[in-house]
């Protein structure tokens, strides 16, 4: 009995018991649809969460070391038993800065950081933004607009005005901050830094990133204006790095700590709670997929057992005609594989239709009128290969037990009707 013959017998069984075939295919299709839908939805949600957190901040920050006072006991030698009594002095609070930053910029660029998309020298500090009688605390960033846009894409998120080509004495602010201040394009706002320095700027652009911490508290001005407001001269307050793979941030930060005499921070260390939530989502997704695969396998195995039980006489005749145990096994292996392949194909089509429909649903922002996706969907080839592979493997494994039972049929007893 050849493999084509075993395949033809399996096809005959499938067409003869159409109800059972349709039920098995339906079980597999439903399982594949559920696996692909859940994995694509959770992956899309994770991408949106990571994007929300990281799109509006540098992935790695290079900052000046904090100032620490030097006291006599710091210089004590080993074995010195002298008791020293004193008070740790408090250093004057002032803006930390990096002097002579251009050579450091060249050195950082020469480090060949893997996946580096952008490197930004900038000035940042807290200010009070005021317009007439309204005053709001905000974060002022001084940077070259074109360079800053590689870290935070404000140009694409402009709702009014311009960002590129920002001139001295001009600024762009978030939509929420502009609304709270009651300021419009072309109007002026005043700044007061923590050091007591003051300045003014004309609003040249208004942006809306959709991230409240940016839109409600961020003002961007040219680098020279930021240096002037904080009285830094030609110094900066740090560098910002943007990476292609946001999850390599902590590894890159660790490498930089060993090579640079600065304080290095990564977004991953600052957002451990968000990362913990993403890991929990991933674990939940894996558990759902695992239980779905197990349920599908048990359902297929039960249906195959019923199929075997109803065909004992036919199997007995086949074995009496010379069919070996391996050949009987191959019949049901073919049947389980074919049913799984058909179910996986139908499940893939159903999941694609469902995912594309969900991805077409939009929600409109009441403030900007922009349409955004209602459901974050990430359709990847990897998800579909894994989902279909699990379905086919489950169908094949689920057919092994009933196939082994079929192979043990005694043809003499079956033909006699015992």
Give residue-wise pLDDT tens across range 161-193.
999 999 999 999 999 999 999 999 999 999 999
Give yes or no for residue 92 having a pLDDT over 50.
Answer: no
Biggest CA–CA distance in the chain, Å, is: 105
The total of other beta-carbon atoms located within 10 Å of residue 417's CB is 8
* Tens digit of each residue's pLDDT (9 = 90 or more) over 275-307: 777 777 777 777 877 777 777 777 777 776 776
Q: Residue 123: its pLDDT value, please?
A: 95
313: tokens are 């006489």
Give yes or no for residue 411 having a pLDDT over 50.
Answer: yes
* Tens digit of each residue's pLDDT (9 = 90 or more) over 395-405: 777 777 777 77
Give yes or no for residue 2 having a pLDDT over 60.
Answer: no
Which helix (H) or strand (E) segment is 371 a member of? strand 371-373
* Tens digit of each residue's pLDDT (9 = 90 or more) over 214-273: 889 999 999 999 999 999 999 999 999 999 988 899 999 999 999 999 999 998 887 777
Give yes or no for residue 15 having a pLDDT over 70.
Answer: yes
Overall pTM > 0.95: no
Q: Residue 69: its pLDDT value, please?
A: 53
The DSSP secondary structure of 77-138, one letter per residue, reads PTT--------PPPPPP----BSSHHHHHHHHHHT--TTEEEEEEEEEEEEEEEETTEEEEE
Write down the mean pLDDT value for the chain. Answer: 81
44: tokens are 């899309």
Q: Residue 218: its pLDDT value, please?
A: 93
Say if residue 279 is exposed, middle or buried (CB neighbours under 10 Å; 0-12, 13-18, 19+): exposed
Q: Residue 25: its pLDDT value, please?
A: 83
Q: Higher pLDDT residue, 274 or 357?
A: 357
Measured at the CA of 169, the angle between CA 168 and CA 171, to 5 degrees, comes to 100
CA distance 303 to 307: 6
CA distance 66 to 93: 11
């Amino acid at each position: 009995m050849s493999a084509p013959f075993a395949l033809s017998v399996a096809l005959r069984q499938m067409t003869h018991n159409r109800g059972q075939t349709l039920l098995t295919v339906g079980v597999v299709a439903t399982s594949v649809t559920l696996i692909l839908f859940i994995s694509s939805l959770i992956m899309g949600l994770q991408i949106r969460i990571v994007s929300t957190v990281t799109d509006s901040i540098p992935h790695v920050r290079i900052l000046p070391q904090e100032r620490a006072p030097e006291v006599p006991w710091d210089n004590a030698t080993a074995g010195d038993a002298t008791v020293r009594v004193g008070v740790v002095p408090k250093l004057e609070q002032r803006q930390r800065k990096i002097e002579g930053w251009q050579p450091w910029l060249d050195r950082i660029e020469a480090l060949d950081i893997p996946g580096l998309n952008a490197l930004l020298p900038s000035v940042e500090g807290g200010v009070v933004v005021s317009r007439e009688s309204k005053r709001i605390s905000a974060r002022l960033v001084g940077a070259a607009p074109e360079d800053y846009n590689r870290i935070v894409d404000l140009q694409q998120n402009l709702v009014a005005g311009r960002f590129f080509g920002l001139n001295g004495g001009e600024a762009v602010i978030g939509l929420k901050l502009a609304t709270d201040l009651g300021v419009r394009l072309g109007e002026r706002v005043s700044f007061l830094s923590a050091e007591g320095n003051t300045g003014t700027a004309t609003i040249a652009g208004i942006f809306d990133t959709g991230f409240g911490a940016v839109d409600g508290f961020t003002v961007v001005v040219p680098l020279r204006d930021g240096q002037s407001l904080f009285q830094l001269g030609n110094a900066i307050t740090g560098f910002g790095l943007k990476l292609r793979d946001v999850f390599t941030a902590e590894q890159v930060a660790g490498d930089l700590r060993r090579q640079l005499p600065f304080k290095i921070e990564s977004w991953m260390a600052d957002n451990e709670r968000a990362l913990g939530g993403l890991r929990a989502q991933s674990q939940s997704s894996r558990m759902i997929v695992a239980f779905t695969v197990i349920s599908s396998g048990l359902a297929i195995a039960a249906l195959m057992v019923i199929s075997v039980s109803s065909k004992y006489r036919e199997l007995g005749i086949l074995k009496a005609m010379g069919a070996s145990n391996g050949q009987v096994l191959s019949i049901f292996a073919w049947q389980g594989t074919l049913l799984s392949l058909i179910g996986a194909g139908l499940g893939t089509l159903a999941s694609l239709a469902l995912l594309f429909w969900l991805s077409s649903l939009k929600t409109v922002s009441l403030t900007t009128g922009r349409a955004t996706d209602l459901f974050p969907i990430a359709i990847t080839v990897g998800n579909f290969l894994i989902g279909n592979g699990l379905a086919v493997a489950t169908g094949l494994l689920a057919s092994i037990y009933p196939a082994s039972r079929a192979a043990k049929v005694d043809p003499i007893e079956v033909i006699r009707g015992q």
